[in-house]
A and B are shown apart, each in its own frame.
Chain A
Amino acid sequence: MMGLVRDRARWSDAQLLAAIARCDDRAFSAFYRRHLSLVVGWCARRADPELAADLTAEVFAAVLIGAARYEPTHESAAGWLLGIARNVLGHSVRRGQVDGRARRRLGASPLTVEDDDLARVLELADDQASSAGALLAGLPVDERLAVRARVIDERDYGEIARSLGCSEMVIRKRVSRGLARLRAQMAS
């Protein structure tokens, strides 16, 4: 089993999601392991560790349901995944409790978050922050500031432009160049 998961670790996100849609459980595990720290890190920046674990469970359940509808636009499905995370968080905020629709639809049994798991959430979030930080550190300062403000802090282009004292067009170019550079770094 582990060997087969490792084998799928070399597959692209699009290949993994297509295989998940065809009921390939090892493809699911490979996709999950590849993106777990990204999702946990994203959720942990917006909620306490217990809620972050619960939100993560819902996000990956939604991934399973939505895998067949995935249309690859980039090499990585990270953007698609964070879009799901945003939807789950938005719905949870509106209802005042963590969204559980995807897990209910799948018939998943509820998992409880133990005290030890909270430390694991923080550990995964730190992993994500340090790997994102290491990647960002490789960018020129102007691109790093623009990418951080836009992608990590999710600020509007206009707001970033005002705070950095340049035009919105310049910020868009910096974010675009920065993301292209990050993609190249990740590919290499």
Chain B
Amino acid sequence: MNGDFFDRLDAELAELTRQGAHLTAGDSVCRRAGRLARRGVAFALVAVTLAAALVSEFPASASGHGEVAQALTAQRL
């Protein structure tokens, strides 16, 4: 490519236009957005599953009764 910076820039971007690079660039943004959305949903599902597992494993702690029970036991002792 000859010419100054701006001639080279013109030639390069015109060539990318001809190749349709902007169409692929748009696709890659959509793909990235889709990937981010999927990751977000997966993260939310994992968080909900973990919370549900914790609640089912320690129901008293989840409702706050665990601390009361411990306090009563401590008083009795």
Residues of A within 8 A of B (CB): 20-21, 23-29, 32-33, 36, 40, 53, 56-57, 60-61, 64-65, 67-68, 102, 105-109, 111-114, 116-117, 120, 124
Interface SS of chain A: helix
B16 in contact with A106 (CB, 8 Å): yes
Could you say which residues of chain B place their CB within 8 Å of the CB of A112?
A: 5
Interchain Cβ contacts under 8 Å between A and B, 26 examples: A21-B22, A23-B17, A24-B17, A25-B14, A27-B17, A28-B13, A28-B14, A28-B17, A29-B10, A29-B14, A36-B6, A56-B9, A60-B13, A64-B16, A64-B17, A64-B21, A64-B22, A68-B26, A105-B29, A107-B25, A108-B16, A111-B12, A114-B5, A117-B4, A117-B5, A120-B5
CA distance A17 to B22 in the complex (A): 12
Given contacts A23-B18, A64-B17, A120-B5, A105 and B12 within 8 Å (CB-CB): no
Could you say which residues of chain A place their CB within 8 Å of the CB of B61?
A: none
B12 in contact with A120 (CB, 8 Å): no
Q: How large is the interface on B (under 10, 10 to 19, 20 to 34, 35 or more residues)?
A: 20 to 34
A25 in contact with B15 (CB, 8 Å): yes
Could you say which residues of chain A place their CB within 8 Å of the CB of B20?
A: 23
Interface SS of chain B: helix
Which residue of A23, A36, A67, A114 has the most chain B CB atoms within 10 A of its CB atom?
A: A23
CA distance A33 to B9 in the complex (A): 11
Could you say which residues of chain A place their CB within 8 Å of the CB of B18?
A: 23, 25
Query: C-beta contact mask, B1-38 vs A, less than 8 Å → 1, else 0?
Result: 00011101110111111111111011011000000000
